[in-house]
Amino acid sequence: MYNNYYRDKVVLVTGGGSGIGRGLCEGLAGCGAIVTCTDINLKNIEETVRSIGKDTVTARELDVTQQADFEETIAGIVKEHGRIDLIFNNAGIGISGELRDLSIEHWKKVMDINFYGVLYGSQAAYLQMLKQGFGQIVNTASLAGLIDMIPLIGPYSVSKHAVLNYTRVLRYEAKAFNINANTVCPGYINTPIIDASPAVNSKPGWNREAIKPFEPGLPVNKAVVCILNGVARNKEVILFPRVAGLFLHFSRLFKGLYLKVSNKSVKDFREKFRLN
Ligand SMILES: NC(=O)c1ccc[n+]([C@@H]2O[C@H](COP(=O)([O-])OP(=O)(O)OC[C@H]3O[C@@H](n4cnc5c(N)ncnc54)[C@H](O)[C@@H]3O)[C@@H](O)[C@H]2O)c1
């Protein structure tokens, strides 16, 4: 379907130690790409690389909040392979809670990883791609970056709207230089992110309760197929699975109903999960 597109491509993936990022490294390696798998968690990327078992896939520790890490990593890739064809700015974190309970520090942490992490990776890759005259930048937002308003995940939602809008501008400006940019907008994918996300001022179990209507979530291997297919076809926004597209249309076409569903979610949170 898209295998040839990735053969011998030099690729950097962030957040490759878990979930979608790990799946992307596996999928890309399977297509014959030369992959640098990065994450803040070195042990997890070493595990990703070990399980793939190909010498075309290497692990490198990279904290996406550190602009210099990207510059060094990309310089290293270019020194070794002469170019970088693709970057997947995939690393991200979740958080839930009411705005009144979230501190500015909570906001900064989410924006630092989910938005600035994507910006630093995109900027470093873009400057190199301008020099070489080609490339593709793939940024992960979310269905939450497309829906107008989602209560109880404010910072996450804002960070993903920012990624989507930034990548749209990048796509527009970069086209003239033979550089593509795509935004990945997944609905619910079954990864560790739900349980790893702090639920601020909440009893345990809220994140699971909130995601229940969307269970069981798409398996990572199917998400990877959607992403690699969308990137190979250079789609502006890669929204999947189908139910995510339906939910987006529902939220726009039946706004009153969508707000009723949102009200119920907030009411449930306040009555059953919020502390004090
Ligand atoms: N799983 C979903 O339902 C879903 C839905 C929409 C969007 N997304 C987005 O997809 C991306 C991947 O999510 P996932 O579900 O695979 O999550 P995950 O928790 O399984 O993996 C995220 C990875 O990012 C890494 N990471 C966190 N902070 C980092 C940092 N500062 N520097 C480098 N790496 C860091 C983590 O160590 C982890 O390995 C995220 O951007 C997420 O917001 C996920």
In this predicted model, what pLDDT tens digit does every residue of 19-37 receive, in sequence order? 999 999 999 999 999 999 9
* Range(s) of the domain holding residue 236: 3-273
Number of domains making up the chain: 1
Instruction: Give the domain CATH number at 112.
Output: 3.40.50.720
Smallest CA separation from ligand 1 atom 19, residue: 193
**Which numbered atom of ligand 1 lies nearest the CA of 44?**
39
pTM of the model: 0.98
pLDDT in tens, the chain (276 residues): 887 999 999 999 999 999 999 999 999 999 999 999 999 999 999 999 999 999 999 999 999 999 999 999 999 999 999 999 999 999 999 999 999 999 999 999 999 999 999 999 999 999 999 999 999 999 999 999 999 999 999 999 999 999 999 999 999 999 999 999 999 999 999 999 999 999 999 999 999 999 999 999 999 999 999 999 999 999 999 999 999 999 999 999 999 999 999 999 999 999 999 998
Instruction: Specify whether 156 is catalytic.
Output: yes
Antiparallel, parallel or unpaired: β 86-89 and 237-240: unpaired
Short-list 62, 60, 18, CA closest to 35: 60
Of 12, 13, 14, 18, best ligand 1 pocket probe by most atoms within 8 Å of the beta carbon: 18
Separation in Å, CA 223 to CA 104, 136, 173: 33, 19, 28
Determine the longest span between alpha carbons in the chain, in angstroms.
58
Q: List all residues 6 or more positions away from 22 whose beta carbon is below 8 Å from its beta carbon.
A: 16, 37, 44, 48, 220
